[in-house]
Amino acid sequence: MSNANTIFLYVADASASADFYAKLLGIAPVEASPTFALFILPSGLALGLWGKDGVQPAPIAGGGGSEIGFKVDSAAKIDRTHADWLAKGAKIAFPPTDLDFGRSFVALDPDGHRLRVYSVAEEL
């Protein structure tokens, strides 16, 4: 079996979502059309944004039922990323908070998909 290398998010407007992610992540899509956009994240994982009206079989779930995690190397980076994403217009569902595993915040994309930025505490 091959390795998992792409996450697909079903979105209402692929172009609007592509603009949101390009601004938020500071990278351009490697592929873009009115119904689909593909980003290659620094980790090598691909993020596909697919207009839900064209997906077969039709998706049955909406945003918010799962999360994409973005691990960073320090709690200070959590706060800097939060401030940056907030300035770029991201809706924040959960502000930077110290949790049992480390520090984290959650932003939402235009379709309500959860984007968790987190760092793991040095000693758990």
Beta bridge partners of residue 117, listed in sequence order: 70, 105
C-alpha to C-alpha distance for 12 and 105, rounded to whole angstroms: 24
Instruction: Place 123 in a pLDDT band, splitting at 50, 70 and 90.
Output: low
Domains of the chain with bracketed CATH: 6-53 (3.30.720.120), 67-120 (3.10.180.10)
pLDDT tens digits, residue range 28-81? 999 999 999 999 999 999 999 999 998 999 888 778 888 999 999 999 999 999
**What is each CA distance from 69 to 13, 55, 107, 119, in whole angstroms?**
22, 24, 11, 10
pTM summary value: 0.89
Q: Residues 65-92, buried b or exposed e (16+ Cβ, 10 A)? A: eeeeebebeebeebeebbeebeeeebee
* Closest residue by Cα to residue 107 from 77, 83, 73: 83
pLDDT tens digits, residue range 78-106? 999 999 999 999 999 999 999 999 999 99
